[in-house]
Structure 1
Amino acid sequence: MADFNKYCQEAAAEELPDSEEEEDIGDGDTCSAQDLAAQFQLQYRPKDEASVSLQREYVLSLSADQGFTRVAAGLSSSAVHIYNLDAGAGTLSNFSFLPPSEGQKVTTCGVRFLDEGPHNILVGTTDGYVRLYDLRLKGEQARFSYTQHPEVAPVPKSISCFDRNANGRIICCGTNQFHSNVFLLFYDVRERRQMGVYCDSHEDDITSVRFHAQNPDLLSTGSVDGLINVFDVKEPDEEEALLNTFNTESSVARLQWHRNVYDKDVVSCITTTCDFKSYESEEGDELASFERPAITTAIARKNVANLNVIGAHNQEDGGVFLLAGTNYNKGEIMRSVSVTSKNTLQPLANFQGNKQIVRDSLFDAKRGLLVTGGECGIVTVWTQHSEGSAIAGDKLKVKKEKKSRKQAPY
């Protein structure tokens, strides 16, 4: 406990490059503690936590296998820490460590388990590679990178985001703008080859690519240009593949797929200005739109400038909730609100004991379990807290990764 608190205090003492002004702004709740408890009736506390490093490393991305038995955390150093997760107990244990890539200023741009099992993992890095590891074997099993085609304009040797499709056959990578062009790069996983390139549908940095969780041919992409594009990737060329385009009139940060009450596919977007929008992917109707002030009010906070919208998650009953917090006081406040069918936000859960500004989150709807990672390099498992039970977060210790060769799958 003492070691963990000391680590968090030291990490908090280091100023983030863009957080100093936010510290001076101040913030607070819009209601009393009693009113908060009445509104946010679900109470979550940390059940277990692990520190990825005692160095200043951010957790940039998280991924879990389909059974939620293993969690991978991609870091700002481009290393990846992998944990076994006992979802029933809500506890983490070290499993393995994938070392950082060579080169300066290389970070992870995503981690994804390839298929239904917990063994095959894809790691994307900003130096232009997606690496495939089998955690049962030594070394990389494959490496995917761009191969120039003479009919396509030069492509940067870097990627900004990636995803794999539902059956683990295709990888799609998005790039930043390069020579006034941006690209979606496609790879065949089994044949270890590049399949093709889309280069006409976006005009600025691609920030998110997201395959549908069940339909392996359905892909959504988002960009700084404000557009969300939906593709059917089984079509032979880009123009025929493009099914729909939505203009968010902002800059896209994060995409997610959902199903609405009419069993229609919905794609949602969190913008870089912390707005939330969702669209029916086939018909193109806007289903929900909440700007930053409305979300700030919904989580009962005063200062709009401090809002941090972390993610949109699917609930077991088909509902959708937004996980949001503030950048004030190193992210101490974190709450969730339900997106209702009446286009309103309803208070859902309060997460007490947060120690960092959260960068990514995972939600296991079957168990009501949340996993977060963020700017203090902590992976946290959150479970519902009942009155009278012990606050597990007060008893946690740092789980430092042992650099044992026995644990390393290489």
Structure 2
Amino acid sequence: MESSTSHGDVAEDFSFADKDVCSTEEIQSKFCNRYIEVESLKITTKNIKCSPLLDNSHSNYFVSVLSDKSVVVVDKQIFKVHSSYKPHEKEVTDIKFSPVDPFIIFTSSLEGKITLWDLRSNKIEKHIDLNQEENNMPVTSFDIPSHGKLLCAGTELIGTDSFILFWDLRGSKNLGGYFESHSDDISYIKFNPDNPEVLASAGSDGLINIFDVTQSSEDKALLYSLNTEDIVSCFCWRNENKKSNILAFTDVYSVQLWDTEEGIASHTFSRDNIAKALNRNLSYECYPVPISISKFGKNPIILAGSGLEHCDSSCLRTLEINEKNGTLQPHGILVSKDENLTSITQTASFSEDLKDITTIREDGIASLWREKFSSTNEAFKSSKVKKKKKINPY
């Protein structure tokens, strides 16, 4: 019986594999920084569909939400699982550390409730029910400003409205909300970490809305409505020289940098731009990694990888946004303990000094990467992917 695969097909498949467009020496020269994988841990035996990663710079823990509705808490000092728990019956949609108590973890769910978990007692201390008599409120995202007195939550589209709800954490009461600014599900909510009076919300309608929450009405509170023209999965605030920007990650694997005071997009980087900066030949294999970070420094640094469809030739690298000329430039390489990354990276968190990167892959592997200035060529070469040999199909 003849095989359905020919020599030519195998050669063609290999020729279209994702790979660098230049030599190893050129890659080492362009990507000057090295991040070595110093710790790794399998936090789940199941593949992760969506795993928000939250790294608390004020405590020894980071947490992640798994696809089985559980929350895993990892001790960063020993890089071991500290605890795990299931705070909700339905899907966990967001997670935050309390900004005033590093041992309290908040989680939200599509069941319309938010729970408070105490790492000291390892139990749920409180439930906040945002549901109303006339409507269930499936919460998609939430945040707490730096003073810790308020909670703000966004919901799915309910009828023709999606809601941004406010809750007084001190008095445990509903403070009302906004419901006119978005026309679809709210995908992400985030207060400005340096200005607790300013809130940003992203929606499936492609809008990022900026609010001054001290105002008496929604109309007065809405400062800017930024049209990204894509669904924003998450974003980060960047405050530099008394100026605020938002770095947004979209569902079409693009990255957008917005000036929130002028209400304009400063820079937009498509998937093709990301592939070019990574020095890879197939843009459809490349993707930016949603990141959590509180400080960016002079120029924003993002994490991006390749191997979205085929992980056997993947890479993971950092890229720098040059704000002056609006380009995306090579920055650093993440050097894995393995020969290659066996799964795509779902989410990441940078330390404030950009020296450490924590990542979680789709296969449930959490890794800690540490910058190494005096990295050797041998360390880089050990991470290279070995070329596939052509396989005789019969």
Q: Shorter-chain-normalised TM-score: which range? A: 0.7 to 0.9
User: Structure 1's 293 and 221: CA in aligned 2 closer, same or farther, altered over 3 A?
Assistant: same
Contact map agreement 2:193 2:294 (CA 8 A) in 1: no
Q: Does the 8 A contact of 1:42 with 1:349 survive in 2?
A: yes
How far apart are 1:125 and its partner, in Å?
A: 2.4
| 2:92 corresponding residue in structure 1 | 108
Corresponding residue to 2:368 among 369, 375, 381: 381
Q: Confirm or deny that 1:52 pairs with 2:43.
A: yes
Of 353, 369, 372, the match for 1:366: 353
2:43 and 2:81 in contact (8 A); partners too: no
The answer to whether the Cα contact below 8 Å between 1:259 and 1:318 also exists between their aligned partners in 2 is no
Is 1:344 matched with 2:315? no
The amino acid that maps onto 2:287 is N
Query: Deviation at 1:242?
Result: 0.7
Question: Which residue identity lines up with residue 159 of structure 1 in the other structure?
Answer: V
Once residues 367 and 65 of structure 1 are traced to their aligned partners in structure 2, the CA distance between those partners, rounded to angstroms, is 14
C-alpha displacement of 1:367: 5.7
Contact 1:23 1:328 in 2 (8 A): no
Is the Cα–Cα contact under 8 Å of residues 62 and 75 in structure 2 kept in the other structure?
yes
Query: CA offsets, 1:226-278, max 9 Å, x none?
Result: 11100111222211111111111222221110024x42011121111112212
Match of 1:328 among 290, 294, 309: 309
Contact 1:124 1:162 in 2 (8 A): yes
Q: CA deviation at 1:25?
A: 6.9
State the Cα distance separating 1:99 from its structure 2 match: 2.8
Q: Deviations over 1:374-404 (max 9, x none)?
A: 311121111124435997xx9xxxxxxxxxx
More RCO (CA 8 Å, sep 6+): 1
Is this contact kept in 1: 2:131–2:137, CA < 8 A? no
After superposition, the C-alpha distances for 1:1-57 in whole angstroms (9 at most, x for unaligned) are xxxxxxxxxxxxxxxxxxxxx999742222121111111111112111121222334
- SS where residue 34 of structure 1 aligns? helix
Amino acid at match of 2:318: S
More displaced stretch, 210-219 vs 324-333: 324-333
The answer to whether the 8 A contact 2:57-2:351 is kept is no
1:131 positional shift: 0.7
The TM-score with structure 2 as length reference comes to 0.84
Report deviation, 1:333. 1.5
Separation in 1, partners of 2:309, 2:59: 31
1:62-73 matches, within 5 Å, as 62-67=53-58, 69-73=60-64
2:28 aligned counterpart, secondary structure: helix
Which residue of 106, 130, 135 corresponds with 1:146? 130
Match of 1:397 in 2: none
Identity of aligned residues (%): 24
2:239 to 256, 259, 273: 259
Query: Max radius of gyration: which structure?
Result: 2
Give yes or no for contact 2:46–2:363 (8 Å, CA) kept in 1. Answer: no
Q: How many residues align?
A: 360
The 2-side partners of 1:70 and 1:181 are apart by 37
Write the mapping of 1:164-203 to structure 2, written as runs, cut at 5 A: 164-203=144-183
After the TM superposition, which parts of structure 1 deviate over 4 Å for at least 4 consecutive aligned residues?
Answer: 22-25, 312-316, 388-391
Is 1:276 aligned with 2:255? Answer: yes
Aligned-pair CA distance for 1:366: 2.2
Give deviations 1:57-112, integer Å, cap 9, x for gaps: 446111122325211111111211111213xxxx513322223533xxx3321211
Which amino acid is the alignment partner of residue 327 of structure 2? T
Over aligned residues, Cα RMSD in angstroms?
Answer: 2.6
Structure 2 stretches of 5 or more lacking a match? 1-12, 383-394
SS of structure 2 residue aligned to 1:216: strand
Contact 2:230 2:250 in 1 (8 A): yes
SS of 2:310's equivalent in the other structure is helix
- The corresponding residue for 2:274 is 295
- Matched with 1:220 is 200
Match of 1:304 among 261, 277, 283: 283
The one-letter amino acid paired with 1:192 is S
